[in-house]
Amino acid sequence: MSTGEVLANVGARFLGTLQALGHATFFFADLVRHLPAGLRRFGLTVTQIHSIGNRSLVIIAASGGTVGLVLALQGYITLSRYGQAASLGLLVALAMVREMGPVITALLFAGRAGTSLTAEIGLMKAGEQLAAMEMMAVDPRIRVLAPRFVAGVISMPLLAAIFSAVGVVAAYIVGVVMIGIDPGQFWAQMQDGVDVIKDIGNGVVKSVVFGIASTFIALYIGYESEATPEGVAQATTRTVVVSSLTVLSLDFVLTALMFSTP
């Protein structure tokens, strides 16, 4: 292809991406506008929290445990070299609460709950269920999208907290029970160094932001997917990729905002 064609291609794709971004923004604004009406049917949201949150519990808790174990082991190796093994609890707690908890939970969420949302919405669209709802004078945004969105935003910080908590407990098991660090030192150093507002609070804020982003991306991609089996399959892949990249980029921005030294 000639240079001109390549440039034209790139330009077209860039414009296409911009247009998609604009469309997504309108979609988001629309969704937010329908949230109050959607919340009135809270039973629907509860059902969604069950399918999004409860069903993710096992994978989140298991991952939190393993990440906590690994962090503790790796941390111990490095810290003991400087005679700072007693700070292991502090290391793991800070790492978990500030970064690992919100970010890894968001990535796992995108993979488990995000793809399930995308597929569900995509299949509903393919099976004309959303159109049928519209024809029955029921707004699918209120009845289908809003409850799932709220459920995702509520579930994410809870899951992230569970991830971090299980991780800290796992680190305790490795550090105190297996390696033999003094438990008093373990908790004392941690409590001294982890701030409720700055560390845990910011971690919660992060996970809420990630929850909004991943849930919305999953719903949007599902809603806009092609109404064919291949279309839905492609959509689920796209959800994981876009969600993960967005979460990681947002993490960078939020970390810079929250944790940069004044």
Partner 1 sequence: MAQAQASTIAGDKGKALVSIQGVTFGYDTRVILSDVSLEFSRGQVVAIMGNSGCGKTTLLRLIGGVITPQSGRILFSGAPVDTGDRAALYALRRRMGMLFQFGALFTDLTVFDNVAFPLREHADLEESMIRDIVLMKLDAVGLRGAAALRIGEISGGMARRVALARAIALDPEVIMYDEPFAGLDPISLGVTANLIRRLNDATGATSLIVSHDVNECFQICDYAYLLSGGRVVASGTPAQLQAAQDPEVRQFIRGEPDGPVHFHYPAPDIAQDLGVA
Partner 2 sequence: MGNRKTETLVGLFVALGLLAIVFLALKAANLASFSFDSTYPILVRFDNVGGLKVHAPVKSAGVTVGRIAAIAFDNKSFQGLVTMQIDRNYSFPVDTSAKILTAGLLGDQYVGLDPGADDKNLQAGDTIKLSQSAVVLENLIGQLIYNKAADAPTKEGADKK
The residue within the footprint of partner 2, chosen from 29, 136, 196, 256 (CB under 8 A), is 196
Is residue 161 packed enough to be buried (19+ CB in 10 Å), middle (13-18) or exposed (0-12)? buried
Q: Is the CB of 36 or the CB of 201 nearer to partner 1? A: 36
Closest CA to 102 of 63, 166, 160: 160
- In DSSP notation, 192-233 reads HH--IIIIIIHHHHHHHHHHHHHHHHHHHHHHTS-SSHHHHH
Pick between residue 166 and residue 247 the one whose CB is nearest to partner 2: 166
Shortest distance in whole angstroms from residue 118 CB to partner 1: 16
Following DSSP, what letter does each residue of 98-149 receive, concatenated? IIIHHHHHHHHHIIIIIHHHHHHHHHHHHTTHHHHHHHTT--HIIIIIHHHH
Nearest to 106 by CA among 35, 65, 52, 66: 52
Q: Which listed range, 20-28, 197-205, 214-222, 232-240, lies at the site for partner 2 (CB under 8 A)?
A: 197-205
- For 247, the token pair is 């979460």
Nearer Cβ to partner 2, position 122 or 167?
A: 167
- Kindly write out the interface string for residues 82-121 of this chain, putting x where it contacts partner 2 by CB under 8 A and - elsewhere: -------x---x---x------------------------
CA dihedral 182, 186, 191, 194 (to 10 degrees): 160
Minimum gap (Å) between residue 211 Cβ and partner 1:
23
Nearer to partner 1, 26 or 252 (CB): 26
Does 187 participate in binding partner 2 (rule CB under 8 A)? yes
Instruction: From 60, 147, 66, 67, select the one nearest 111 (Cα to Cα).
Output: 60
By CB under 8 A, name the binding residues for partner 1: 123-124, 127-129, 131-132, 134-139
Under the binding rule (CB under 8 A), the answer on residue 66 touching partner 2 is no
114-153 positions binding partner 2, by CB under 8 A: none
Number of residues that bind partner 2 (CB under 8 A): 35
53 three-state secondary structure: coil
Specify whether the CB–CB gap between 125 and 225 falls below 8 A.
yes
Least distance to partner 2 from the beta carbon of 102, Å? Answer: 12
Q: Which stretch binds partner 2 (CB under 8 A): 30-38, 162-170, 218-226, 247-255?
A: 162-170
Q: Rule CB under 8 A: is residue 57 a binding residue for partner 2?
A: yes
Residues that bind partner 2 (CB under 8 A): 43-44, 46-47, 49-50, 53-54, 57, 89, 93, 97, 154-155, 157-159, 161-162, 164-166, 168, 187, 190-192, 194-196, 199-200, 204, 261-262
